[in-house]
Amino acid sequence: MADSGGTKADDRNQRELALLKRIVRKDRHAISELYRIYHARLFKFVFGLTHSYTSADELVNDIMLIVWQQAATFRGDSKVSTWIFGIAYRQALRSVTRGKRTLPQQACTGETACDDSVDIEMQDWIWRGLHTLPHPQRMSMVLVFYYGLSYSETAEITGCSVNTVKTRMFHARRKLREYLADSAIANAAGDGRHHG
């Protein structure tokens, strides 16, 4: 019996496959629709790597241009989303290694208005922790936890084995726990000094 939980994802993949076939025929409406479907997800993904709104915006356009140019090379061995995120991963990796490594520690920059809500502060804290991880571990965490991808999909996107992804996730969780614990202690000590 087929897993009914997979039906929605299968339907989405079929719709995206149909769009890709139209893109192969250079249907501009199809690439526009695929762009609309993926823009927010891709932007969040590459922004998590570059921490630059400008770079993330450029990267999303580059990724979708590659999809437009290389749609015919998609063999259907994976889901369309896995293929697109594989392209995104490689493009973002090139961008980061081309000298855009200086990732600001603050998730909020002058380009965005930040409020003082606990939720924003918590997200900022977690992002700071993620950016202390080696790149392969950080990417595995982002793909698995933020995008809900399976270990096998993450392995395909990052070009490694499932066991390597599992190992990266194990070490990433341990390091992130240590970072968050150390940060909490440091923050508590700072608060104590202010009140003392």
- For the stretch 70-122, pLDDT in tens is 999 998 888 999 999 999 988 887 877 665 444 333 333 333 333 444 455 66
Could you tell me the residue ranges of all domains in the chain? 13-103, 114-196
Alpha-carbon span 65 to 62, nearest angstrom? 5
Q: What was the pLDDT predicted at 138?
A: 86
Q: What was the pLDDT predicted at 17?
A: 95
The CATH topology of domain 13-103 is Rna Polymerase Sigma Factor; Chain: A (1.10.1740)
Same fold, 13-103 and 114-196: no
Domain spanning 114-196 has what CATH number? Answer: 1.10.10.10
Q: Is the pLDDT of residue 123 over 60?
A: yes
- For the stretch 29-50, pLDDT in tens is 999 999 999 999 999 888 877 7
Alpha-carbon span 96 to 90, nearest angstrom? 10
Alpha-carbon span 67 to 35, nearest angstrom? 10
Confidence of residue 187 (pLDDT cuts 50, 70, 90): low
Confidence of residue 168 (pLDDT cuts 50, 70, 90): very high
CA angle, residues 87, 58, 110, in degrees to nearest 5: 125
H/E segment holding residue 8: helix 7-24
Q: Once rounded to an integer, what is the mean pLDDT over residues 144-157?
A: 85
Q: What was the pLDDT predicted at 65?
A: 95
Average pLDDT across the chain, whole number: 79
Alpha-carbon span 134 to 101, nearest angstrom? 12
Confidence of residue 27 (pLDDT cuts 50, 70, 90): very high
Q: What was the pLDDT predicted at 100?
A: 44
Q: What was the pLDDT predicted at 129?
A: 80
Q: Residue 139 corresponds to which tokens in the numbers above?
A: 């990417």
